[in-house]
Amino acid sequence: MTDLLTFAVEATEEGDGFSLAVSPSDGSGVRFYKVDGPEPAAFEAMFDKLHADFGTRRSHHVDAIEDYPAPPWRPLITGNLHPRILSGYGDPAVLRTDDGWWLVATSNDAPDAFPILHSTDLETWSPKGFVFEEGQTPGWTASGLKVGDFWAPEIARVGEEYWLSYTARSHDRTLSIGLARASHPAGPWTDNGAPLLTGTVIDSHVHVDADGTPWLLWKKDSNSHWPRPLAALLRDNPDLVPVLFDDEGDRRTAAFCAAVQPFANTRRPMERFFLMQPLIRAALANWRKVKAALHDSGIAAHVIENMATPIYARQIAADGRSLVGDQHLLLANDLDWEGHLIEGPYLTRQDGRYYLFYAGNDFTSPSYGIGYAVADRLTGPWRKAGQPLLRSHPDWSAPGHASVSVGVDGEPRLFFHAYHPGTGGYNVFRALMTVGLAFSGDEVRLVP
């Protein structure tokens, strides 16, 4: 085993970006890296240069994707349909109404939050505005370019209204779940005026049960809370690095992220993620070993706890302004393919059974995919399929965050996003995709 290379990092603010002075322990001299701004590409360029200098992981490196017979999926929207829709159709929610299909999607930090589109045939889609146009985002939310994060909207018909649940950041940067309502999917939408749920929560889903009771499903965003604590742990305990990682490049990645972690703590949430992304990739590539070694260390309970991302459910009050009754744990990530998270829950009831679709692994990675679980009651117990229902293919990468509606033939269909081949990451275009579903007992099959 080679001696562990460590780093010292000094950061200097420069406009919207920063520069890093990196001093490796091998005495080869200080190296300088500049990040021109808060966009992902600026961080990717920095990590490319760091990779060239030291063999660390690149944050956006796309691993080879296994070739296999393509699923019977079909792309619906493969390019931007409006100049104010900045990153495509991630986390798509599709709802069928009497006048066709309505789509809402993630907008990230775009000035206009949550694009709305309409189709009468699932072939041609027309932009119909935004849930919250620029300047009209709810007062409790942080908004604007490089400030806001508006994620994962979903529409449900509840009584005589349409409810839209969504994720946004409060002004203190806490991830919270809001709820807005309208008499029609095109809006206008009126927000509750305060979060429905707060405390590092994302990916809400409103399910209306057979008796008309509305339920909220959501994910605890624990996965945002382990990378920087892990980096801090490795900075204080560098002997753990070779215990967690066998590959020299992954060890150097861990050492760099450990050194840059104090500076990462000072950045906005998405920049923290960008700075820790290579460490996340390294950990996911060694997931079983990393978790076992952290457990054996006896000093990483706070890190291990946040490597589980539970999905919960709770009833929504009839007025849509609070949650009532008990909170129920439905699922957590416990399968190898899921890695450090599951997210994006969508619940559908078919032939008396409940089917819960979810995404797993890292959304920027080809390892991201869609799984499902089955239960006889909404609150469980839930039975997971052992392998993902949809995974990356050379044609389309990282399928994820699905919703269920019906096709032109009235049969159930899954709607989800995926990246064009060789792409991926935050604010990178995601296409709208669909595939048919067939349900039989505990099995879900894909059909054209």
- Summarised one tens digit per residue, pLDDT across range 390-401 is 999 999 999 999
| pLDDT given at position 59 | 85
* Same structural domain, 200 and 321: yes
- Summarised one tens digit per residue, pLDDT across range 132-154 is 999 999 999 999 998 999 999 99
Q: Is the pLDDT of residue 199 over 70?
A: yes
C-beta neighbour count of 238 within 10 angstroms: 16
Tell me the C-alpha to C-alpha distance, in Å, between residue 160 and each of 185, 206, 383: 12, 15, 34
- Summarised one tens digit per residue, pLDDT across range 230-269 is 999 999 999 999 999 999 999 999 999 999 999 999 999 9
Strand partners, 350: 353
Range of the domain at 200: 74-221+309-447
Tell me the pLDDT of the chain averaged across its residues.
96
277, 59 contact by CB (below 8 A): yes
* Same structural domain, 167 and 268: no
| pLDDT given at position 306 | 95
Segment 96-102 shows an average pLDDT of: 97
* Same structural domain, 264 and 353: no
Residues 6+ apart with CB under 8 A from 230: 279, 283, 294, 300, 303
68, part of any domain: no
Could you tell me the CATH number of the domain that includes residue 390? 2.115.10.20
Q: Is the pLDDT of residue 1 over 60?
A: no
User: In angstroms, rounded to a whole number, what is the distance separating the alpha carbons of residues 245 and 223?
Assistant: 20
| Residues of the chain above pLDDT 90, percent | 96
* Same structural domain, 100 and 163: yes
Q: Is the pLDDT of residue 2 over 80?
A: no
- Is 308 exposed, middle or buried (CB count within 10 Å of its CB: 0-12, 13-18, 19+)? middle
392, part of any domain: yes
Long-range contacts of 2-5, Cβ-Cβ distance < 8 Å, separation of 24 or more: 2/248, 4/238, 4/241, 4/242, 4/251, 4/255, 5/54, 5/251, 5/252, 5/255
Instruction: Please give the structure tokens belonging to residue 230.
Output: 């892990």
* Same structural domain, 321 and 249: no
177, part of any domain: yes
Segment 391-416 shows an average pLDDT of: 98
Angle CA(20)–CA(23)–CA(27) in degrees, nearest 5?
160
* Same structural domain, 172 and 244: no
| pLDDT given at position 64 | 84
- Summarised one tens digit per residue, pLDDT across range 360-382 is 999 989 999 999 999 999 999 99
Domain boundary among 270, 305, 340: 305
- Summarised one tens digit per residue, pLDDT across range 44-87 is 999 999 999 999 999 877 778 999 999 999 999 999 999 999 99
C-beta neighbour count of 17 within 10 angstroms: 17
Segment 322-329 shows an average pLDDT of: 98
* Same structural domain, 327 and 196: yes
End-to-end CA distance of the chain: 52
The pTM for the full model equals 0.95
- DSSP assigned state of 320: S
- Summarised one tens digit per residue, pLDDT across range 218-230 is 999 999 999 999 9
2, part of any domain: no
* Same structural domain, 103 and 49: no
* Same structural domain, 56 and 93: no
Domain boundary among 305, 320, 347: 305
C-beta neighbour count of 443 within 10 angstroms: 10
| Residues of the chain above pLDDT 70, percent | 99
